[in-house]
Chain A
């Protein structure tokens, strides 16, 4: 190896350039074809995502079979709440043709826990005008009911004021605070 030191450094510099160049070549080979068509992502990913099985339905999907719940839900204050919000994904229950599983239905204390996810006064991010919030057990005390009561003992879960309005109609009583 009779190369001069200078020559060796030139070869080294060339080697670095070749490495950088082959890096670019490798980049060209490894980047998917559809990358960058719409933006810095793989355009084919959009088509692939449309092929994925549907997990969620709309409320209409549920109303098609659950006609009684539909009637109550549509008339109540919860009419804009998605069924899936409390019951879980549509695809866990049906494949669109027949029932494939049972969605969990909350009972007892779990009902109160579920309600307080939205209706808890401690959640200070929510406006009283949008969602009525209460503090527990203060709400139960002010309504003069047992502290062991669950929300659904007074409120219909699909139409929260259904029973309360009906009770007012029957008794003729009015309350300022609910």
Chain B
């Protein structure tokens, strides 16, 4: 061992093992992971929105009847998460109020300003889809409600109680139109998140045109998984039956998207490995070094191969409805974990290698940091609080399940 290494190891023993974070040479401005857990949550939350919206679109645009029980719920789920999509970004900023500057003066060289506009449009479209989808229910609720709640219902039904066939036919057309433009907007919203990472030329693990595609498919996986899990849990909690046909359709859709997502994730690694492009030695060292456990073990082996096998069993074998639903919940939970680990490996993993192309650093999450574990828990619980609030105004299952 050379003297410096001896000194360094002595120093680390005296200060504590956590000081030995760096291997080889890391530029001083690469030591710290600047885009930390809030930037992991950002693509995760927008991804959940996208997947949930796909479920709603399958029903409202393509008339996949079996998805009727969850169609409305997935719209509200998407809204609850979309309203928090920018929250992690704002928490990450040192001066969050300055985000308006970016929106006031967008420029083609600012990818983030583009996201602001796409986010605003998708928010508008989603809100109006929900208002038109829920209008018949809201009109009924308006009649029975009182006080401020009635005022809310009057406002969101455009102060009209017209449920005539002509008005309903018009609503139907508007919903189809909005969902029709909603799909490309949802795809652009999350594809754009991937593009923001893919557009960082200085980072070899991000800078690939595959990034938006990978993000988009894994977004669909996480969103659909979340709707399956939330649907099963809420129905069980409320003691109401779970619609098996609906679960089967969602699991089939999930299987398709997961095969695509996992294939593209692996394709990216394999093409890097085969092409051996400029920084391949760094990416290879990253995946087999600092990310060996979180990428190969957790993302690939535990959270991708196991669900793939389970989905295979569910698709090919005849299972009892209760077993199938239980497996659906388990697979969804694992896949939700897979997607967040994937985001972690991309966002934080990508920053663990220095621009020196010689060394790696490490990331240790803190509990009470502005972007720490506690902040993550708070940010992830806000959409559920919003969802609960929305359920007070927009009943999830009204008129669909009179059990």
> Using a CB–CB distance below 8 Å, which chain A residues touch chain B?
1, 3-6, 8-9, 12, 16, 27, 30-31, 35-36, 40, 120-125, 135-138
Does B296 sit within 8 A of A, measured CB to CB?
no
B267 within 8 A of A: no
A30 and B159 CA atoms in complex are apart in Å by 34
Q: Is B11 part of the binding interface, using a Cβ–Cβ cutoff of 8 Å?
A: no
Q: Does B104 contact A (CB under 8 A)?
A: yes
Q: Residue on A with the closest CB to B131?
A: A12
**CB <8 Å contact, A135 and B27:** no
**Which residues between 27 and 56 of chain B lie within 8 Å of chain A, taking CB atoms?**
27
Residues in B lying within 8 Å of A, measured CB to CB = 2-4, 7-8, 24-25, 27, 104-105, 107, 109-110, 124, 158-160, 162, 164, 167, 170, 174, 356, 358-359
Closest chain A residue to B27, Cβ basis: A125
Secondary structure call for the B interface? loop
18 A-B contacts (beta carbon < 8 Å): A5-B160, A5-B162, A5-B167, A6-B167, A8-B158, A9-B174, A16-B124, A30-B104, A35-B105, A40-B109, A40-B110, A120-B4, A125-B25, A125-B27, A125-B356, A136-B3, A137-B3, A138-B3
Q: Which residue of B lies closest to A126 (CB)?
A: B25
How many residue pairs between the two chains, A and B, have CB atoms under 8 Å in the bound complex?
Answer: 54
What is the CA–CA distance of A129 and B3 in the complex, to the nearest angstrom? 22
Contact B356 A5 (CB under 8 A): no
**Which of chain A's residues have a CB closer than 8 A to the CB of B358?**
124-125
Contacts of B162 in A (CB 8 A): 4-5
Contacts of B4 in A (CB 8 A): 120-122, 135-136, 138
Instruction: Check A123/B3 contact, CB under 8 A, given A5-B162, A30-B104, A40-B107.
Output: no
A124 and B24: CB pair below 8 A? yes
A5 / chain B contacts, CB cutoff of 8 Å: 158, 160, 162, 164, 167, 170
Q: Could you tell me the distance between the alpha carbons of A30 and B25 in the complex, rounded to whole angstroms?
A: 46
Contacts of B356 in A (CB 8 A): 125
Report the Cα distance A9→B174, complex, angstroms: 10
Which residues of chain A are near B8, meaning CB under 8 Å? 122
Question: In the bound complex, what is the Cα–Cα distance between A165 and B246 (angstroms)?
Answer: 86
Query: Are A9 and B170 touching (Cβ within 8 A)?
Result: yes
Docked pose: A59 CA to B2 CA in angstroms = 38
State in angstroms the CA–CA spacing of A54 and B4 once bound together: 40
Measured between beta carbons, the chain B residues less than 8 angstroms from A120 are 4
**Complex CA–CA separation, A125 to B3 (angstroms):** 19
The CA of A160 and the CA of B159, in the complex, are separated in Å by: 84
How far does the alpha carbon of A123 sit from the alpha carbon of B2 in the complex, in Å? 14
Residue from the list B3, B104, B170 in contact with A27, Cβ < 8 A: B104
- A8 in contact with B160 given A124-B25, A136-B3, A137-B3 (CB within 8 Å): yes
Q: How far is the CB of A105 from chain B (nearest CB, A)?
A: 24
Chain A residue, CB-CB nearest to B159: A1
* Nearest opposing residue in chain B for A137, CB measure: B3
Q: Complex: how many Å from CA A30 to CA B162? A: 41
Instruction: Name which residue of chain B comes closest to A35, CB basis.
Output: B105
A30 to B164 alpha-carbon distance, docked (Å): 45
